[in-house]
A and B are shown apart, each in its own frame.
Chain A
């Protein structure tokens, strides 16, 4: 599957070839083949049980594949997991922190484990506490932290050694809107600094907003991969045009547009603005912005008055649910 759009480094930081992991009869990851380039924010989208966390574990060499192969930084995770993990940072889905350590101790501890040079350790810890707005709580035990504070500290821990490749497994799950916004900003900043981010999420808005490319997974299988436009192009019914006509003309407009190729389906939908002005909204499926002139021309020839014509691209949500139904 050609999944690269050429905007990023030609150097693939992650490559998998039919990567598979089974747990007994359950195949958690099934013949996954992807290629991720340096500097990308790569979204890994799927319901719970889609194989997202298992893939992160496989790529970091903390579990072994049952078939297929992976290369991260051109290294085999099974044989060189420790070398890969020295260059990656992983925020797990439910990051646990030792409640008996202070925030500062936690970061200092992981700085030592990840080999942050001694002379840089203090500065790095202070910087991250500052960045994640935890400076005032740096010497407090983690046991008394709120969920949002813990998540921020876990993220700081993930970044303590300034990793080149960052795995974020559901980083905003269960957080309040302010904490979610802060984490999104942090991801954008990391992207600006050229870091590669592997973002596992089932939050479609998050993926649409942050990711350069997205892989959609279901039950361990890769359903589709690409940027939003590439994914949208796979949907016949995803492209649509909404038109506003006079409410009295709605039945006639419906019949007219259903006879107009390439419209495949038309349905009347509620639109507060149109309703208030005595109009009605009709959504035409199977047509894209290129078909707008034809729609207008057809309406004019039939004497139908159009008050508004608006092409709409399919959202990631449309794509996601359409793919899940396939």
Chain B
């Protein structure tokens, strides 16, 4: 493998993506809104509710089956406080995966469809890389920012989440094993899946926007997980999250295999 060329292409993709408003804006805004804005907003409402000893509507989820040990660990808290802790630690967990998924998808869309749109892919096709090296470089260049945005979002969330649970319930709740698994096992898998789907989408469309929109559809199953959990269909546990990560890696691997089998500069060039 021509590692020097691979790193050069990956590094360049990350650098130019960060210089592009259409890419950099969602990479900066989504973590702030999702990992800071949402917990702060819900925390402020829950804090007021806790002080007034009224239960916000979403505390209804407490009537659903709780994860093992939850009740014992947080005994003595009122419903508003328990509801907020449940929200921060469990209910919000699947939403976190939007971050690495979205970040890798947007960079991959810029890296594949965007290069095609700008016609800069042609110079790369003439480079002394093999098809496999070129694909791997492009994947790496989208996966690294996806994984990094995920980890940055995790760090932000731990900080803000703890500040807000302290404000609401005087407890420090993060990071627990479930969130460590999410950040270091499931998040990178979600980043891989997001970019894998976008790579395949990019080979069939010609613009960054089209590729990004198709790639972003992969977020929809996550919404189903959030709804399923909120409706009590299941409760997230460490084991379930670990398994979910494994499944995501498996699907991402399949998507990459498909991409690798179809990625040929000869067919790419015939369309340029």
Contacts and interface: CB of A to CB of B under 8 A. Distances in A.
Interface of A: 23, 57, 60, 62-64, 81-83, 85-86, 88, 90, 92, 94-101, 105, 109-110, 112-115, 157
Given A85-B128, A109-B8, A63 B269 contact: yes
A62 B269 contact: yes
A112 B127 contact: no
B16 A98 contact: yes
A98 B110 CA distance: 12
Contacts of B120: 96-98
B75 interface: no
Contacts of B204: none
A126 to B, nearest CB: 19
Given A96-B118, A97-B123, A105-B15, 15 more contacts: A63-B270, A92-B123, A92-B126, A95-B122, A95-B123, A97-B120, A100-B16, A109-B8, A109-B12, A112-B7, A112-B8, A113-B4, A113-B124, A115-B5, A157-B123
Given A85-B127, A90-B126, A95-B123, A62 B265 contact: yes
Nearest to A114: B128
A100 B110 CA distance: 12
25 contacts: A23-B270, A60-B126, A62-B265, A62-B266, A63-B266, A64-B266, A82-B2, A82-B129, A82-B130, A85-B126, A92-B126, A95-B122, A95-B123, A97-B123, A98-B12, A98-B120, A100-B19, A109-B8, A109-B12, A113-B4, A113-B5, A113-B8, A113-B124, A113-B127, A113-B128
A110 B20 CA distance: 20
Interface in B1-31: 2, 4-5, 7-9, 12, 15-16, 19-20
B9 A113 contact: yes
A60 B127 CA distance: 10
Contacts of A92: 122-123, 126
A106 to B, nearest CB: 9
A88 to B, nearest CB: 8
B66 to A, nearest CB: 50
A43 B34 CA distance: 60
Sort A-B residue pairs by CB-CB distance and give the 3 closest, nearest first: A112-B8, A86-B128, A96-B119
Contacts of B5: 112-115
